[in-house]
Amino acid sequence: MIAQQERRRSFLEAIAKEGHERRRLIRAEMERVSREELAQAEREAAQHAAALLQMQERESLDAQNARVAAQRRDCRAALAQARAEIQAEIFAAVRDKLITFTRSADYLPYLQKRLTALHSQMDADDLCLLVREADLPLADTLSEAFGRPLTLLADESIGIGGFRAESKALKRSADATLESALAGQEEWFYANCGLDAGR
């Protein structure tokens, strides 16, 4: 009976020992799985945090770029406005000087010189000069400069001075108005002055 009890006790000890070993293995496996799951969760959290940070950085950069672009647009608009104002002031002053020129003693010789140059290009009996109303009294002097009688007609579109010549016989016209000369200088100014206001 002692042998049987000894066998029973050995059997129970073996079962207990095996149970303890299985529990230890199960705990070790659970700890390993927990560590792996924790490590995986930490990796996923780190990846998620990195992705979130990258997205926030991108959004911040996009917002900053949008602000910079808006500021650049505003600066360009302000610069274009300033340039346009400078150009307007310059050409208003030039226009005033041209108007003053048409009231000076140099204006009639200027017209005569322009007519003499025109004579070689448009020598026609039917030449008609379109001038501003204030220049109509100069008809005889201008005809003399051209070398033959001219018809002068008032043209309201000529505000500063000069003339526009037309010949139906030659089917030609020439613009020697101070407006067209000023417009030509304005184009040159826009192209060469460095103050191009977005033309």
Q: What is the pLDDT of residues 39-63, one digit of tens each?
A: 888 888 888 888 888 888 888 888 8
Q: How far apart are CA 69 and CA 85, in angstroms?
A: 24
Task: Write the burial class of residue 178 (CB in 10 Å: 0-12 exposed, 13-18 middle, 19+ buried).
Answer: buried
Q: What is the CATH number of the domain that holds 113?
A: 3.30.2320.30
**In a domain? residue 68:** yes
**In a domain? residue 87:** no
Q: Do 108 and 187 have their domain in common?
A: yes
CA proximity to 112, closest of 137, 160, 144: 144
Q: How far apart are CA 163 and CA 55, in angstroms?
A: 69
- pLDDT band at 194, cuts 50/70/90? low
**In a domain? residue 84:** no
Q: Give the total number of structural domains in the chain.
A: 2
Q: What is the pLDDT of residues 103-145, one digit of tens each?
A: 999 999 999 988 888 877 877 778 888 999 999 998 888 888 8
**In a domain? residue 88:** no
What's the domain range around 166? 104-192
Q: CA 34 → CA 28, 29, 44, 79, distances in Å?
A: 10, 8, 15, 65
**In a domain? residue 174:** yes
pLDDT at 119: 77
The residue type at 198:
G
Q: How far apart are CA 131 and CA 39, in angstroms?
A: 94
pLDDT at 106: 93
**In a domain? residue 172:** yes
pLDDT at 195: 57
Sign of the CA dihedral running 87, 179, 114, 161: negative
Sign of the CA dihedral running 14, 20, 21, 26: positive
Report if pTM > 0.75.
no
Helix (H) or strand (E) holding 27: helix 2-102
